[in-house]
Amino acid sequence: MNMFDISKDIDEPEQVFDLSPISTQKSVTTTRGGFSVDDDDHNGDEDAVTFSVGGTSQDQSGWEPFTIFYGLRNGHLYSICPVIPYKSTVRRNHLETLSCLSRVKYEQAKRTNKSLSMLFKLHSDWIHYLFESAKIAQNLDNDALAVTSSKDHMPYAVKRQGPFLTNHTMSLADGIQVTDILYVTVDVINMVALALNNGTVQNYIIGSEIDAQWQLPVTNTQYTWEKEVMKKII
């Protein structure tokens, strides 16, 4: 997936994200703001064919506005978070609430799960970077922050999350494929609607929060927080 700032360049993407499942990758080449994959045994059923942003920044928002939900041709659902254009506007209360929650989770995890606390520390660092960028930007009003991100915002690539467990009752066979996806919020319920090429729509309620994850380098220490977070399902 390429993200463009068309006010600056319509040919060179601002950021690049690899949306392919990890199991299909052969070699990874780093690019500006992301990474790309060379795969000789390409499987068209696992192409990412559609994506949707998880809503706009609101006072009561969590990580959803920084989340991209996407569907593969075969019906599998994935997400990547956090994703933000390098120049963005975020609700002040949204970012402050997210910052407070991240700090609380970090302090709690330090006492109960030190491995998971690493993740929440990265959450806090990522949010703090946005706050620092807002201090030198021209704010639109008291309720909105003009924030600036960059390829140096976080030294790790954003990690793909999924495929999510869904209650598919119909196998996508006989030429049935995913064509579109839409993130929808109804009252306090967050949903993902998946459109198929046979005219049907499958709706999935997001049962737990999607939060930020990064692809950390492999070390001798196993980051067990990855296993904890992957227990979340749609």
Neighbours of 179 (CB within 10 A): 15
The one-letter amino acid code at 147 reads: V
Task: Give the pLDDT confidence score for residue 64 in this predicted structure.
Answer: 94
Tokens of 207: 């049962």
Task: Count how many residues are written for the chain.
Answer: 234
Task: Give the pLDDT confidence score for residue 172 in this predicted structure.
Answer: 66
Please state the φ and ψ torsions of residue 45, each to the nearest 5 degrees: -65, -20
Task: Give the pLDDT confidence score for residue 233 in this predicted structure.
Answer: 37
Task: Give the pLDDT confidence score for residue 57 in this predicted structure.
Answer: 92
Task: Give the pLDDT confidence score for residue 137 in this predicted structure.
Answer: 55
**Residue labelled with tokens 């989340």:** 67
Q: Distance between CA 25 and CA 28 in Å, rounded?
A: 7
Q: Which regions of the chain are under pLDDT 50?
A: 25-41, 220-223, 230-234
Task: Give the pLDDT confidence score for residue 139 in this predicted structure.
Answer: 55
Distance (Å) of CA 227 to CA 4, 118, 133, 162: 33, 13, 32, 12
CB 163 within 8 A of CB 78: yes
Q: What is the CA radius of gyration of the chain?
A: 18
Sign of CA dihedral 192, 196, 198, 204: negative
